[in-house]
Amino acid sequence: MDTELIRGARVSHERASVDQIEAAADADARGVVESLLDSEGVTEAFAIRTCNRVEAYVVAGSVEAARGALAPVGADVDDGVVVEMDHEESLRHLMRVAAGLESLVLGEDQILGQFKRAIEVAHEAGGIGPTLETGLTKAVHVGERARTETGINDGVTSIGSAAVRLAERETDLDGETALVVGAGEMGKLAAQALADAAVATVIVANRTLERAEHVVEAVDVDGRAVSLDAVDAALGEADVVVTATGYTEYLIDADDVEAAGETLVVDLAQPRDVNPAAAGVGGVAVRDIDDLESVTAETRATREAAAEEVEAMIHEEFDRLVEAYKRRQADEAISTMYEAAERIKAREVDTAVSQLEAAGDLTDEQRAAVE
């Protein structure tokens, strides 16, 4: 039954650059889900957006309706960047995403939390029905199994820590001052990694000062929290900057770093926090997600054995999931058949009773006998 099938589309780091992912990410996950649900023939919808991926999934009345709804995903990027997925490809890919096999940092823990939050958002938007619920629940289960039963998340486990590893290759962080812009999960992980790298001071800037203070309290070095309005001044103090906010506009422009001197900036945000033009200012080096490839390649090499275990796990769970969908489809088909038979029976009984009553009154016993 077409209405039971999922179709998906994705733009991710496997084929796309930071610029292309940014071009594809024209709305937040809830906005994407609501837009998909407004599409003709779509009954369910799910979307996930992170710093290195934009993905959308629908359950629709036909393949054509699903493709039409998903057409805006990656409409503004080059051909060959968008990957379309049928029902089984979508199910397998969702499990791979939750398990961390599709992450820039193989096996990162952060993606599972992002995945769960995306499910909550889709639920709130009314996008999750029985078809997506089955697939997404299985994906979360696989993601949790991967992290408890294998070593897929040993070592560098986040993009934040990978960013600090990259910074260590380019400059000596020992005794330096670091600025982290954004106090979300990624910013917190970056701040902790910077503290582990022996920086002397961590400044955390955030729209909500209280959240920035919580991050400062969690790191074992001197630090202070500032508002986003104070970022310009903090740039003058910082030797290394990591940005990771959810803002849709640039927070740092070329003018903001003119007086910064020698500064390494690693922009982890999607859309980007730092205007690429800032890299043209003397002494300022700007790195982004694309530049993490060398660090993440090392992580991938050390986790190959664990990745193979997770692949086997996904294969096993995928077979179970496909069987579950087939059983449900069969149950629905049988239920539909019984409902149709019941309607036919009721119609024929009404016809027979009407004909018999035309010849004379029926007793209750005779009516029961006809039924």
**SS3 call for 99:** helix
| Count of Cβ atoms closer than 10 Å to residue 334 Cβ | 10
| Count of Cβ atoms closer than 10 Å to residue 53 Cβ | 23
Bin 319: left if φ > 0, else alpha if -120 < ψ < 50, else beta: alpha
**SS3 call for 164:** helix
CA-based nearest residue to 245, from 274, 203, 286:
274
The answer to whether 303 touches 107, Cβ cutoff 8 Å, is yes
What b-and-e string marks burial along 253-265, b requiring 16 or more CB atoms within 10 Å of the CB? ebebbeebeebbb
Single-letter code of the amino acid located at 196: D
CA-based nearest residue to 75, from 119, 35, 124:
35
Strands 53-60 and 6-12: antiparallel
Catalytic residue among 18, 51, 162, 265: 51
272 catalytic residue (yes or no): no
Q: Give the Cα separation of 290 and 190 in Å (integer).
A: 17
Q: Give the Cα separation of 228 and 241 in Å (integer).
A: 14
Q: Give the Cα separation of 206 and 233 in Å (integer).
A: 14
The answer to whether 33 touches 125, Cβ cutoff 8 Å, is yes
Helix (H) or strand (E) holding 146: helix 130-149
Give the active site residues: 51
